[in-house]
Amino acid sequence: MQVAVVKENIVSKSERFPFSSFPNGWFALAWSSELAPEGVKRVKAFGRELVLFRTKAGVATVLDAFCPHLGTHLGFGCVKDETIQCPFHAWRFDGSGACVEVPNAKKIPPRAQVKPWLVSEKNGVIFVHHDNEGKAPAYELPLAPELNGRGEGPGDWTKPVHYGWTIKTHVQEICENLADISHFGHLHGLSGAHELESEFTPSYFRMHLGADGTTVDMWLYGLSAELSRVVLFNESFFAAKFMTPIDADHVELRIASSAKITGDVGEAEQRSNLFKDLTSQALLQDVPLWENKRYSDTPLLSSVDGPIIPFRKWAKQFYPAEQNG
Ligand code: FES
Ligand SMILES: [Fe+2]
């Protein structure tokens, strides 16, 4: 009998989309504030169970979840200094995934190792790098000062508010929204929406939109992080959307948004909450459509559509080479 050798990224393909569910890039796993020193969290992403923990020294660490001993989920364990300890028999693993202690054993079994993930913590978010072929990151995420606001006074940004949803779709469908200019007016009521400028580079796709009383400058890094600078009736707002595939059919969408303080802090916080409501309202207009649409590789486009095909060509760089033939 022949046994097919199937690569992980092929297995993780959804029925709905002609590409892998798990593109390459940096993906958010949690807000930094969710993980205090010595905190432990169970996370599901890329169809895998992961454990996220913060060491005593404060380093956010991500490992594959299952203990190589008898398969316990390390997310039920606890942090001991710079390691995580399995709750079942107390084996301990460091940030590289290496087992550093088997209590009372003379030696550590040589294969006592779990897969470590490359972590980057910035903008109040814990990201991991996912690559189908185990390659190093092809791009880095930028710092966004708008997400580090302390809400202290004029010139500063309000403390970001966090919200989000689990959505039955693919990360690429959420990202394609930026290129789909004609839906902004009809679905979201952004009258007069038109492209001011757009740009495709290896690390980001930028779409700068103008509309009545509004400009929206959206920067998409990989297929996982959208940073939007919005000017609405002369007030400045910021929204970051982070898209992470949980499994072949679901995406965790995390949003952080804030408002620039121009005078009174309380008023800016009110504006920030209003902006959160507007952002949520727009997203909830998209969600049922994303969840129920059929992806077409050969869409029927018209002259009023945005750069949907250039976007799809740009997106291909985030998939394994074999899917880009
Ligand atoms: S299952 Fe983890 S130490 Fe035994
Ligand atoms: Fe939309």
Residue 321 Cα to ligand 2 midpoint, Å, equals 29
Per-residue pLDDT tens digits for 146-180: 999 999 999 999 999 999 999 999 999 999 999 99
Residues 66 and 114 sit within 8 Å (Cβ to Cβ): yes
Ligand number, closest to the Cα atom of 70: 1
- % pLDDT > 90, the chain: 92
Position in ligand 1 atom list of the atom nearest CA 74: 2
With beta carbons less than 8 A apart as the criterion, state whether 42 and 53 touch. no
Distance 269 CA to ligand 2 centre (A): 25
Beta-bridge partner residues of 122 = 125
> 82: closest CA among 101, 109, 65?
101
**Atom of ligand 1 minimally distant from the CA of 70:** 1
Above 60 in pLDDT, residue 89?
yes
Q: Which helix (H) or strand (E) holds 227?
A: strand 225-232
The pLDDT value recorded for residue 12 is 67
Distance CA 245, CA 249 (A): 8
CA-proximal residue: ligand 1, atom 3 (nearest): 89
Cα of 89 from ligand 1 centre, angstroms: 5
- Among 63, 91, 92, 108, the mutation site with the greatest number of ligand 1 atoms within 8 A of its Cβ is 91
CATH architecture of 22-130: 3-layer Sandwich (2.102)
The SS3 assignment for 255 reads strand
Residue intervals of the chain classified under CATH 2.102.10.10 are 22-130
Write the pLDDT tens digit of every residue in 200-233.
999 899 999 999 999 999 999 999 999 999 999 9
Neighbours of 160 (CB within 10 A): 25
Reference 316, options 324, 304, 308, 306; nearest CA is 324
CATH 3.90.380.10 residue ranges for the chain? 145-294+303-320
Taking the CA of residue 71 as reference, the ligand 1 atom at the shortest distance is 1
- The DSSP element (H or E) to which 211 belongs, if any, is strand 204-211
For 220, 242, 265, the CA distances from 171, given in Å and listed in that order, are 12, 9, 35
Question: Which protein residue has the closest C-alpha to ligand 1 atom 1?
Answer: 70
- Which burial class, exposed, middle or buried, applies to 153 when counting CB atoms under 10 A from its CB (0-12, 13-18, 19+)? exposed
| Nearest ligand to the CA atom of 306 | 2
The answer to whether residues 51 and 62 touch, using CB atoms and an 8 Å cutoff, is yes
> Sign (positive/negative) of CA torsion 46, 119, 5, 99?
negative
Question: Structure tokens of 114?
Answer: 């779990």
Class of the domain covering 145-294+303-320: alpha beta
Per-residue pLDDT for 294 more than 50?
Answer: yes
Chain length of the chain: 325
- Share of residues in the chain with pLDDT > 70 (%): 95
pLDDT tens digits for 309-318?
999 999 999 9
- Give the atom of ligand 1 at the shortest distance from the alpha carbon of 86: 2
DSSP 40-97: EEEEEETTEEEEEEE-TT--EEEEESB-TTT--BGGGSEEETTEEE-TTT--EE-TTS
